[in-house]
Structure 1
């Protein structure tokens, strides 16, 4: 293969490492490296801490067990203005085969949302991405009972049965 195609392939791989989770709901989120995830928060506000604890609790409802201490899921608060995202999830460290994520980073944007409800929805939503869930839409969440809707104005702040089944099937 000539040099140009290898450069293009490398560029695609590098871009995929840092892109936020914007996946469909069919196991296209970030595959966790196993069913046991250690969580640690960094520089969290009181609301960020609450969102992290709620998201962790929702993940515990699935087949994924969690613990405190870090190493698998890192949660941060940032005040980022001039952007249109309230929170994002990224893979910080892929495994050697690029088949699962060893370290997943969640970032809450403190500049965007301030109600307690929205923080709970964000916590559930972003932790859903760590369990390999993608976004839900009206077509696959017709009763609007999943926190995995692509907006934090969701009417629901928990995983529904569909979400829990998708996590079980994907991990």
Structure 2
């Protein structure tokens, strides 16, 4: 084999190892890497929500209360919206709209709930739990690290609560 082929092969092995390391660590620490809350006290406010959106917000807020994060009403930290965002491929999305001056944590986190797809009352609760999990910097979980299928951070099923793994990750991360 020519020397250049050995170098290319070695580079491919190193790149694959790095990719696996990054992927594994993302699941290990459960970090969403995008919505680090600025503290353990989060004020929540809904904006012109439907009944389903209100129920999702209330359930998400109550699930955060099970963790080390304290919530209150009034806004300033978590802003919740729902609307028919169309055929986007997502039921909900969470992002930071105001990073602190050092870009190390998020001062205002926006939660958007898509009313386009029909959902049961239980699915709305699961969606609220899931999106509020992102406000606590939780990432998605898969079957590999949610073997008992009980985390609302799963995307292909609809549990309505955080499991102990989620609660531990919130405690470790905030």
TM-score, normalised to structure 1's length?
0.83
* 2:169 pairs with one of 158, 166, 169: 166
Residue 64 of structure 1 is matched in structure 2 by 69
Tell whether 2:148 aligns with 1:139: no
C-alpha separation between the residues in 2 aligned to 1:125 and 1:115? Answer: 15
After TM superposition, the structure 1 = structure 2 runs for residues 1-171 of structure 1, keeping only pairs within 5 Å, are: 24=27, 26-29=30-33, 30-151=35-156, 153-154=157-158, 156-171=159-174
Deviation at 1:28, TM superposition (A): 3.0
Runs of 5+ unmatched residues, structure 2: 1-25
> Which structure has the greater CA radius of gyration?
2
The answer to whether the 8 Å contact 1:113/1:119 transfers is no
Q: In the TM superposition, what is the alpha-carbon distance from 1:26 to its structure 2 partner?
A: 2.2
Gaps of 5+ in 1: 1-22
8 Å Cα contact 1:85/1:112 also seen in 2:
no
Q: Residue deviations 1:18-73, cap 9 Å, x none?
A: xxxxx746223421000000000001000100000000000000000000000000
- Normalized per residue, the structure richer in helix is 2
Give RMSD over aligned pairs: 1.2
